[in-house]
Amino acid sequence: MQSPPSYFGKYPNLAFSREAETGILEIRMHTDGGPCLYNDRVQSDLVDALHDINRDWDNRVIIWTGTGDIWMGGPDFSTFGDVADPNAWDKVYTNERRLLINMLEIDVPMISAVNGPASLHTELILTMDIILASRTAWFQDYPHLTFGIVPGDGLQVLWADALGTSRARYFLWMQEKISAEEGHRLGVVHELLEPDAVMQRAWDVARHLAKQPTLNLRYTRQALTQRLKRLVHEGIGYGMALEGLTAAHLARTSQAKA
């Protein structure tokens, strides 16, 4: 039996498993075996892991999911340092930009198995080709306006593409919760499933896709993400710069009150 790639054990917040005969890779985000809590380490690891995943030619279809009853939790802002310092913010800016771009640079089809509520970094879900969601799931951008910073890390680009510009503005300004059922009606969620059926369906879809020739898997993914790559490249640098200004203002205001 072939040994798993070395990167399978490299990232403490990502669990990997691959079906050798089909090349289907399942990636499960977690923190200590429970729901993934987004922090500086998770951010950095995701950027690097996506490079490793994309360089591995044995990966032919990817399933991406969370752990437990939520898709992702957090964030832990304290781990990102003093964001009023331009050097500290540069790390956040660079990693967030690379994270979203690296996700779109994955050259094989991606299936998002949304196992529960997704209240942050839902833009990552929107980089994927097929979105399956538990009936318990909902989508929201909770952190940005809650803390008084611009939602500029790609949310503003990909939700506008998914919902339309006007609807996306309402979603972000009002920190609206879009249920999985409503998301299905809006066309964001492609299949609505019972919680215990999400992963089985994800594997069924992945095996259906894996019947395609490898070149067709790779090139169809590239064709279907070309426009999104352009939109993200145009919008994320500006968005993260604005987010950084408001994050720095928030940090300085908090320091002055302390």
Q: Which residues are catalytic?
A: 123
d(CA 189, CA 234): 25
Cβ atoms of residues 158 and 123 within 8 Å: yes
d(CA 172, CA 132): 22
d(CA 19, CA 34): 23
Q: Are strands 178-179 and 138-139 parallel, antiparallel or unpaired?
A: antiparallel
Identify any residues that bridge with 25 across adjacent strands, giving them in sequence order.
Answer: 18, 62
- Residue 35, preceding peptide bond in cis (omega within 30° of 0): no
Q: Which of 14, 138, 7, 23 is nearest to 66 (CA)?
A: 14
d(CA 84, CA 235): 22
| Maximum separation of any 2 CA atoms in the chain, in Å | 60
Count of C-beta atoms within a 10 Å radius of residue 255 = 10
Alpha helix (H) ranges present in the chain?
40-55, 86-105, 143-147, 155-163, 165-173, 180-186, 198-209, 214-257
